[in-house]
Structure formats: structure tokens, C-alpha cells
Copies of this chain bind each other. A is one copy, B any other.
Amino acid sequence: MAFRKFLPLFDRVLVQRLVAETVTKGGIMLPEKAQGKVLQATVVAVGPGTTDKSGDLQPVSVKVGEMVLLPEYGGTKVILEDKDYFLFRDGDILGKYVE
């Protein structure tokens, strides 16, 4: 897969946003404007982390495959093999969904 070959640097996290819902629970098609901005994403690659003041490497707090909640603004759009991904700093990711 494309993102396997891309390695974010430092504490950057590469995520892929979930697909926006285009149909309501009741089965009605939603126009694009009514589709909310998708803030949930899957982690597809993580950087090695950053070095703290003691010189120790602090790994990022999410792992590949985890589903995370993104902030509404921020992040850097990255196009890899014609697909849209986003890079976020580890510290900007709001939280993750755990079992």
C-alpha cells in the first residue's frame, strides 16, 4: 500500500479521514453541503516521535490502525498515490476510540 512507503518525521501522524455519510439513517440521500465534515480518521503511519529535554525519544501516542478524533481545523493535506491523507502533530489529535 502507498502509505507503507511514506514515513512521517518526528511526532507527525498520517491519517485517512472516514468517508462522509451520504445517506441518513432513514435512507434519505444527503447533498454534499449537508454532509458534516468528517473528524474521525484512521491512523495509517506514525513518526518515530520527538526527543525530550532529557534526550529520550518520546513515541507518539497513537498507533497505526487506531481510529482518532481530529480537531476541526489544522493538519496538512498530503496526496499520496492520488489519495488524500492528512498529517497532524501527535499533540493536536484530540483523542482516540478504544474498545
A contacts, CB < 8 Å to B: 5-10, 12, 14, 45, 47-48, 51-56, 58, 61-62, 69, 71-72, 76, 78, 87, 90-91, 93-99
Tell me how many chains of this kind the complex includes.
7
What are the 7 A-B residue pairs with the smallest beta carbon separation, nearest first? A8-B95, A53-B53, A54-B55, A7-B98, A9-B95, A9-B61, A6-B95
A selection of 8 A-B contacts at a CB cut-off of 8 Å is A5-B99, A7-B95, A7-B97, A9-B94, A45-B95, A51-B58, A53-B54, A78-B94
Contact B9 A96 (CB under 8 A): yes
- Told that A9-B61, A14-B95 touch, could you supply 13 new A-B pairs with CB distance under 8 A? A7-B97, A7-B98, A8-B95, A9-B90, A9-B94, A9-B96, A10-B61, A10-B91, A12-B94, A47-B95, A51-B58, A71-B76, A87-B95
